[in-house]
Amino acid sequence: MPPPTPIEPKAVEAITADVTAANAPSGQAAPTGFRFRCIACGDLSDSAVQNFRCSRCGDLLEITNPRWSHAQGSSAPTASGLKTTWKQRRDSLSPVDLSGVWRFRELLPTLENLHHVITLREGNTPLYELPQCSRMLGLPHLFAKHQGMNPTGSFKDTGMTVAASFARQAGFRWVACASTGNTSASMAAYAARGGLRSLVLVPEGKISWSKLSQALDYGAVTCQLRTDFDGCLRLLQELVLRAPVYQLNSINPFRLEGQKTLAIELLEQLDWQPPDHIIVPGGNLGNSSAIGKALLEMHDLDLISRLPKLSIIQAEGANALVRTLREAGGKRLVTVQAETSATAIRIGNPASWKKAIRVLQATGGACEQVSEVEIARAKAEIGAEGIGCEPASAVTLAGLRKLLKQGFVKPGESVVLVLTGHLLKDPGFTMEFHRGELLPATAENESAVSELQALRRPPIVLDATLDAVIRTLEQQEKSDIQA
Ligand code: F0G
């Protein structure tokens, strides 16, 4: 890998001007044009500076387009027209139509030229039934939307294709992110495909080797910082104001636009019949915000007749949103010093907390937390379905179990769990779990930990003899009958 080219801080202004010019409609907003809107003061603008914060009040921006809502009295497309167009594109062989993100481009910000699109055929992810979990929970209509089946193994690819394409269109040479691992893997891949250089900031020793190895293999300049994710993100926000680097965290509203397509594709898979509940893990809270935005826009455009309840689940040790709602009524962010073995969501100062609260309120969803034991159990149960996921994704099943107990989810209702990352993203967690090394029993969790025993399948070391293998099979048969 060639050494990184030094970045000239002086070039920032010029490049910022480039990006804003590229995004700004010339003269009047074109009918397909989009604008940036501040989520706090509502200020509308045609351009955004590189930290993607409101120039008036400093809060986060979102992207709006009058064509995404009938309510704005615009010439929004008809629901039936959109459904037909998206269906027809499934027969197309063009790269943008083969992408499960760009296929829905009427609900995405418009590029000046589709040749700027950087795509790895993201999206197009399966919706699985979970028969064993369905039986166990007494929920006949339980599904998993598996975003781990994206090209780099996580949902990040759906947002990255959009934001990286806009970075390329704007003429940036460098893109950068802070990450708990998946964003960096995804960004590095899309940057490589698009001929861009990428800079990764990750907390040292706190992300899985699989994710780190992806960033290295895709050619990113990877910095392991002696801090946590929140520290990495803080530093990145300062960096993008000092150097001509395009930031690809979910603070970047183009990322969230791409991640909306998870919900659009899901509803198309359900023949536009909304489920009663969608349950998603919460970390930096970009994904839940994006899914909620898509649901509201689809509802506005009559693509769906009612809103599913969107619920967000966090790990107990990284429960900033749970505490923000319980202790501060959602009025101010309660930050935490995050700690959880689900390292993808080890985040204590989530950037998109206001956006997430807005979609929780708009859809009537719940916010819950789950323990480390509950996460481990749920992950093994999803694995036993022949699907598997990474620990952060398993909070959805663990959270569902709680929401069912509380009566928030009712037995006859339909539920979709969003599995955000692939099983192979964190093999260390899986190996430790099956070897019984993950959760040392303490006085408080002893009985819960011992219940996990039945789910463990540790590797068995044997002499290489037929006898030894047959004896193992027989023992297994016996314990299966007893179970
Ligand atoms: N699940 C997985 C597998 C993730 O990687 C993340 C976030 C989340 C859930 C939470 O999503 O932040 O939008 O609420 N990972 C980020 C990263 C932060 O850097 O890879 P969120």
Contact 383, 247 (CB under 8 A): no
The secondary structure element, H or E, covering residue 135 is helix 131-137
Ligand 1 proximity of 208 Cβ (cutoff 6 Å): no
The values of phi and psi at residue 270, to 5°, are -95, 20
- What's the pLDDT band for 2 if we cut at 50, 70, 90? very low
Distance 233 CA to ligand 1 centre (A): 13
List, in sequence order, the alpha helices (H) in 406-454. 427-434, 446-451
pLDDT digits (tens, 9 = 90+) for 217-254: 999 999 999 999 999 999 999 999 999 999 999 999 99
Report helix, strand or coil for 343.
helix
Q: Which two tokens stand for residue 294?
A: 């898509």
Ligand 1 in contact with 183 (CB < 6 A)? yes
Ligand 1: does its nearest atom lie under 6 Å from the Cβ of 203?
no
Q: Is 250 in the pocket of ligand 1 (CB under 6 A)?
A: yes
Structure tokens at 269: 């898979």
Atom of ligand 1 nearest to the CA of 347: 18
Tokens encoding 148: 């781990």
Distance from residue 84's CA to the centre of ligand 1 (Å): 32
Q: For the chain, give the percent of residues with pLDDT over 70.
A: 93
Closest CA to 429 of 363, 383, 481, 368: 383
- Going by the DSSP 8-state scheme, the letter that residue 202 receives in this structure is E
pLDDT tier for residue 482 given thresholds of 50, 70 and 90: confident
Alpha helices in 310-390 (DSSP H): 320-328, 353-363, 372-383
Tell me the pLDDT tens digit for each residue of 13-44: 333 333 333 333 233 333 458 999 999 999 99
DSSP reduced 3-state for 348: coil
If you take atom 15 of ligand 1, which residue's CA is the nearest one?
Answer: 344
Contacts of 65 (CB under 8 A, 6+ apart): 32, 33, 34, 35, 109
Block residue for tokens 């009537």: 364
Chain CA centroid to CA 469, Å: 42
Residue nearest to atom 6 of ligand 1 (CA): 344
Measured from the Cα of 285, ligand 1's closest atom is: 14
Query: By three-state DSSP, how is residue 99 classified?
Result: coil
pLDDT digits 0-9 by tens, 111-154: 999 999 999 999 999 999 999 999 999 999 999 999 999 999 99
Q: Cβ(237) to ligand 1 under 6 A? A: no
pLDDT in tens, 151-195: 999 999 999 999 999 999 999 999 999 999 999 999 999 999 999
CA 460 to ligand 1 center in whole angstroms: 34
E-assigned strand segments in 206-364: 221-225, 245-247, 277-281, 309-315
